[in-house]
Structure 1
Amino acid sequence: MAKNKFHDGPGPSQRQLQVGETVRRTLAEVLARGDIHDPDLARMSVTVGEVRMSPDLKIATAYVMPLGGAGQEDLPALLARNKGELRRVVGKKLGLKFAPDLRFRLDTTFDQMDETRRLFSRGDVRRDLDE
């Protein structure tokens, strides 16, 4: 089986999943409370959908989306600009020897779900599914 971005190994370890969820909750709490001292970021309500950890736990990729979708193009850059402060907070919460490097990507899962719903509602697809 060829490796691709969806199937490249056995999947995340239990430790990766646990640390990723802790990072996700921590980021969500900090962003919801407005603890970051950036006026541009303070104006946004940010949803942290998922955090994926690298196998060595040194890189955390957070999938984020602004509530309502407004300003999504700017969000990864705004968060990256405040990465140092966010990383310090995450590091304290995790209690690991090293705080993971934070990377931010737009969460496109909602767009993918909408596209899937749209496809399933098409007449030709419904006909094929009913057969």
Structure 2
Amino acid sequence: MVKRSDKVGEEIHKIISELLIKGLKDPRIGFVTITGVKMTPDVRMATVYFTVHGGDEQRQNSAAGLNSARGFIRKEIGQALKMRFTPEIQFKYDTSLEYGQHIESILKEIGSTDDGDNT
């Protein structure tokens, strides 16, 4: 059985992704991908996870742009969802992709050292 908070999170994910495709006017927001939305059980708070194509500076600029557009994004969510209360939005950079790449590089390193040690 799907929880209400999960359904609302999926809808918020779609809405924000569409807003990013249409283009928010803030030039600081780079190539941002929404990776997930986690809702509190009472659906009053949404944590929106994102990744950015680029380095640390691009990540910081995009985070600042998203936080600056938070009011506009929240208004658009409220109009689309027609809920009694529009959830507060918090943006967080998703480090899971970087973590996965780090683990993969470690495994490759271990694999390359094992190949030569067969004595």
Q: TM-score range by the shorter chain?
A: 0.7 to 0.9
Q: Return the offset for 1:96.
A: 1.0
Which range is displaced more, 116-125 or 64-73?
116-125
C-alpha contact (below 8 Å) 1:47/1:66 kept by paired residues: yes
Measured after TM superposition, the shift of residue 126 of structure 1 is: 6.9
Moved over 4 A (4+): 124-127
State the partner residue of 2:34: 48
2:33/2:52 contact within 8 Å kept: yes
- 1:85 equivalent to 2:34? Answer no
Which stretch shifts more, 56-65 or 113-122? Answer: 113-122
Q: Structure 2 stretches of 5 or more lacking a match?
A: none
Could you tell me how far apart the structure 2 residues matched to 1:77 and 1:68 are? 15
Taking the TM superposition and a 5 Å limit, the aligned residue runs for 1:32-43 are 32-34=21-23, 36-41=24-29
Query: Unpaired runs of 5+ in structure 1?
Result: 1-12
Number of matched pairs = 112
One-letter code aligned to 1:47: T
The structure that has the greater radius of gyration is 2
1:22 to 2, 7, 11: 11
Aligned to 1:6: none
Cα root mean square deviation, aligned: 2.2
> 2:98, 2:14 → 1: CA distance?
22
Counterpart for residue 86 of structure 2: 99
Between 1 and 2, higher relative CO (CA 8 Å, sep ≥ 6) is seen in 2
List aligned pairs for 1:117-128, cutoff 5 A.
117-121=104-108, 122-123=110-111
Letter of the 1:15 counterpart: R
8 Å contact from structure 1 (residues 120, 126) kept in 2: no
State the secondary structure of the residue aligned to 1:73: helix
Aligned to 1:64: 50
Distance in 2 separating the partners of 1:55 and 1:76:
25
TM-score, length-normalised on structure 2? 0.81
